[in-house]
């Protein structure tokens, strides 16, 4: 059966895909322990010929489909966790849990991957090798992929042996529905957290000369850091630093003893990542000294750069074009500065992450509410395209 018919098969599974997505959307869970979501996944896979493995320290699900003949292993990933935010979409299946929302579309990823497993199970006689379905918790800052790797996901002695290739799709509300966008090389940035505490000496607001005010020092750091980013980091290998939180003091007439600020720094290469860490420490330390203060600078490493293997990215383009039509596939001109923990998998296995458009019907992608908005809505019809592409990638790898 030609790959072009995968789209029709995926559409036939759409009622099941939508039902699973909506069930997960109603009961969002945050972090590494996702018992309700995991139960929903297990129920969706229960009647399929899969070997299922549960995470020990995290709420992960790994399912393995054996093809009819021996061959390599291809990994397909779907992340499962939600965000700690209040939904404001008025959808009939909106979150029923206050302060939690599937605002990044991970509920669609789970549903697409489960339906891809069902589609591939029906066509297992065409597969030479194994498909490893990676249902991952804790993508939103909890390093879930790294924990799964630590539990042996990618080991030779792991659930499906060492994967030969790895693929993931990520839905985006600001791309046209049903389109696949991908690029070789760096796709998403590394993201590190910066926390700075400025130490001064408190006093009365009427007599700042008798105190050592940390607030002007912190304010000066913000501007100095932005200047350093534009003067010490090349424009063709950029860094984006955002100070997103500043706090100091308790009232209007007291100079505080300390000021605190935090933010993120995002980079697209390891060299610039290390260079920016040195810049942040130097600028903050010296700016504090210039104001007679001192500064404690803590940089917490986040996700690495997400780097797509060139051949794997080309396979995504080819397969998606065969399944969906070439007009629905685009080469991204540049990376984006968001971060992804599928980067941990791609550090060890050649593969690619691609974006699946999910802009709601009738809306302009350029003005649609983006991922991580409490008003974001995804076009559920796009999920059929994702199911077909997931299946097509596995069949291409195991032909």
Place of tokens 């860094």: 239
Query: Is 390 among the residues known to form the active site?
Result: no
Count up the domains in the chain and report the number.
2
Place of tokens 């700075």: 196
pLDDT in tens, 77-116: 999 999 999 999 999 999 999 999 999 999 999 999 999 9
312 and 291, same structural domain? no
196 and 244, same structural domain? yes
Q: Phi, psi at residue 56, to the nearest 5°?
A: -90, -55
Measured over the CA atoms of residue 379, residue 339, residue 300 and residue 155, the dihedral's sign is: positive
164 and 77, same structural domain? yes
94 and 164, same structural domain? yes
286 and 361, same structural domain? no
Helix axes 14-26, 35-45, angle to 10 degrees: 160
> Across-strand partners of 136?
79
Domain boundary pick from 283, 300, 317: 300
What is the CATH classification number for the domain harbouring 38? 3.40.630.10
Report how far residue 371's alpha carbon sits from residue 57's, in angstroms, rounded to the nearest whole number: 28
Question: Tell me, what's the pLDDT at 289?
Answer: 98
Catalytic residue, candidates 139, 140, 317, 380: 380
385 and 315, same structural domain? yes
Question: Tell me, what's the pLDDT at 362?
Answer: 93
198 and 181, same structural domain? no
Question: For residue 113, what are its two tokens?
Answer: 């991957």
174 and 50, same structural domain? yes
**Residues lower than pLDDT 70 in the chain:** 1-2
213 and 137, same structural domain? no
47 and 171, same structural domain? yes
Question: Tell me, what's the pLDDT at 1?
Answer: 53
* Count of CB atoms situated within 10 Å of the CB of 344: 22
Residue 230 burial class via C-beta count within 10 angstroms: exposed 0-12, middle 13-18, buried 19 and up: exposed
Query: Is 147 among the residues known to form the active site?
Result: no
- For residue 347, the enclosing domain spans 3-186+305-397
**320 and 282 Cβ atoms separated by less than 8 Å:** no
pLDDT in tens, 249-287: 999 999 999 999 999 999 999 999 999 999 999 999 999
What is the CATH classification number for the domain harbouring 206? 3.30.70.360
* Count of CB atoms situated within 10 Å of the CB of 399: 10
220 and 253, same structural domain? yes
Domain boundary pick from 274, 300, 326: 300
Question: Tell me, what's the pLDDT at 4?
Answer: 74
392 and 255, same structural domain? no
Domain boundary pick from 245, 270, 300: 300
Catalytic residue, candidates 29, 139, 303, 340: 303
């Amino acid at each position: 059966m030609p790959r072009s018919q995968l789209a029709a098969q995926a559409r036939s599974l759409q009622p099941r895909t939508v039902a699973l997505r909506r069930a997960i959307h109603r009961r969002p869970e945050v972090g590494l322990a996702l018992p309700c979501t995991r139960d929903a996944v297990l129920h969706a896979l229960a009647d399929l010929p899969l070997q299922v493995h549960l995470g020990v320290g995290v709420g992960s699900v790994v399912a393995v489909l054996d093809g009819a003949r021996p061959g390599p292993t291809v990994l397909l990933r779907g992340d499962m966790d939600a965000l700690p935010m209040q939904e404001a979409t008025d959808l009939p299946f909106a979150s029923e849990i206050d302060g939690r929302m599937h605002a990044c579309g991970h509920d669609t990823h789970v549903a697409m991957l489960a339906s891809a497993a069902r589609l591939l199970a029906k066509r297992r006689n065409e597969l030479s090798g194994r498909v490893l379905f990676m249902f991952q918790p804790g993508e939103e800052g909890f390093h879930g992929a790294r924990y799964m790797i630590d539990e042996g996901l990618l080991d030779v002695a792991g659930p499906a042996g060492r994967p030969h290739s790895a693929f993931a799709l990520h839905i985006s509300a600001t791309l046209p529905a049903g389109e696949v966008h991908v690029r070789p090389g760096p796709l998403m940035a590394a993201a590190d957290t910066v926390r700075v505490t400025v130490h001064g000496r408190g006093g009365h607001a009427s007599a700042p000369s008798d105190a050592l005010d940390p607030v002007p020092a912190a304010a000066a750091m913000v501007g100095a850091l932005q200047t350093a980013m534009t003067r010490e980091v090349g424009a063709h290998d950029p860094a984006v630093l955002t100070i997103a939180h500043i706090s100091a003091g308790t009232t209007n007439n007291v100079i505080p003893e300390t000021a605190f600020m935090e933010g993120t720094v995002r980079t697209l290469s390891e060299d610039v990542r290390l260079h920016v860490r040195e810049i942040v420490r130097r600028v903050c330390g010296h700016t504090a000294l210039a104001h007679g203060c001192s500064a404690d600078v803590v940089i917490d490493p986040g996700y690495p750069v997400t780097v797509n293997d060139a051949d794997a990215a080309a396979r995504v383009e080819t397969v998606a074009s065969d399944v969906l039509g070439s007009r629905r596939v685009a080469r991204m001109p540049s990376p984006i500065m968001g971060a992804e923990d599928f980067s941990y998998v791609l550090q060890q296995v050649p593969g690619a992450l691609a974006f699946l458009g999910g802009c709601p019907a009738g809306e302009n992608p350029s003005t649609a509410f983006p991922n991580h908005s409490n008003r974001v809505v995804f076009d559920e019809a796009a999920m059929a395209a994702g199911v077909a592409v997931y299946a097509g990638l596995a069949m291409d790898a195991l032909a």
